[in-house]
Amino acid sequence: RIVHVNGDYLPEEDAKVSIFDRGFLMSDAVYEVTSVLGGKLIDFAGHATRLARSLRELDMAAPCSEDELLAIHRELIARNDLDEGLIYLQVSRGNPGDRDFAFPGPEVKPTLVLFTQAKPGLADNPAAKVGIKVISIDDIRWGRRDIKTVQLLYPSMGKMMAKKAGADDAWLVEDGFVTEGTSNNAYIVKGGRIITRNLGTDILHGITRAAVLRFAREAQMEVEERPFTIEEAKAADEAFFTSASAFVMPVVEVDGAKVGAGTPGPVAARLREIYLDESRKAAI
């Protein structure tokens, strides 16, 4: 695999980042994951815009322009012959040469790393046909979940808790309401209405969420942006989640209770189809 580090394209075994890098020592880094279908980028502009926002919110310098980022993504697709998969991008506050809590000055440049992950069959994921199971866990993450930082320890623990409970993923609950999934935005469908938590600092502003809600509204589906509870999810007609790597994924069980008939519902199936069709058309 050919990866990108600070302007260089290298075989992965030759890529190096300092042990003093703040991404490594402090989780002082932000990231994006963009999917690739048919060798083209899905929703690149959305991911680039959110990356710029994450950097701004943390007073972190941008490593390069959006055009340069696009060129790097395309170069990695070409060099790795990537047809279907993901591109991971990370920007950290760089390597100050020592460990210190205070942010370094502008002389320390950000560290930019990108790599590809080949996922043949990403769009044809068999899980979308049977749906997945989630458990609910307490949301004990920090309060700025709208910034896409690499602080992924608790979401990783959540996935492990789900596995241990015989489920696939976890939905996080704060003050009685679902915030989001460990790595996705959460939805229920009741009486034809699509319900998903409103944007704020308590959830990530999903790029797939924005696209799916736009397509839903264009298709005259009713959308309600408000928090919902696990009890509402259990009593819903359907549930699903969205993310750049899973697109629209039906959820058929919440804390052991079947949602609706316990099979993927028509709204999730339709949104998945529209999202994949429209995104492929708009891919660059």
Indicate whether 180 belongs to the interface with ligand PLP (CB under 6 A). yes
128: region left, alpha or beta (phi > 0 left; psi from -120 to 50 alpha): alpha
Indicate whether 243 belongs to the interface with ligand PLP (CB under 6 A). yes
- ∠ CA 129-77-3, nearest 5°, is 110
What are the residues whose beta carbons fall under 8 Å from the beta carbon of 13, sequence distance 6 or more? none
Query: Residues 122, 244, 251, 259: which binds ligand PLP (CB under 6 A)?
Result: 244
CB of residue 100 vs ligand PLP: minimum separation in angstroms?
28
Q: Measuring CA to CA, how many Å separate 165 from each of 43, 136, 276?
A: 34, 11, 31
8 Å CB contact between 92 and 27: no
Q: Which helix (H) or strand (E) holds 24?
A: helix 22-26
Site size for ligand PLP (CB under 6 A): 13
Nearer to ligand PLP by Cβ, of 92 and 95: the residue is 92
Nearer to ligand PLP by Cβ, of 150 and 235: the residue is 150
Query: Residues 80, 116, 136, 183: which binds ligand PLP (CB under 6 A)?
Result: 183
Nearer to ligand PLP by Cβ, of 60 and 204: the residue is 204
Indicate whether 185 belongs to the interface with ligand PLP (CB under 6 A). yes
> Which 3 state secondary structure label does DSSP give 41?
strand
Phi, psi dihedrals of residue 11, rounded to the nearest 5°: -60, 145
CB of residue 183 vs ligand PLP: minimum separation in angstroms?
4
Task: Give how far the C-alpha of residue 127 lies from the chain's centroid of Cα atoms, to the nearest Å.
Answer: 17
CB of residue 271 vs ligand PLP: minimum separation in angstroms?
13
Which of these ranges, 2-10, 121-129, 132-140, 199-207, lies near ligand PLP under the rule CB under 6 A? 199-207
Q: Active-site residues: which are they?
A: 148
Helices (H) and strands (E) in the chain, counts: 8, 15
Indicate whether 91 belongs to the interface with ligand PLP (CB under 6 A). no
Query: Residues 204, 254, 259, 267: which binds ligand PLP (CB under 6 A)?
Result: 204
Angstrom distance (rounded) from CA 87 to CA 108: 25
Indicate whether 206 belongs to the interface with ligand PLP (CB under 6 A). yes
Residues that bind ligand PLP (CB under 6 A): 33, 180, 183-185, 204, 206-209, 242-244
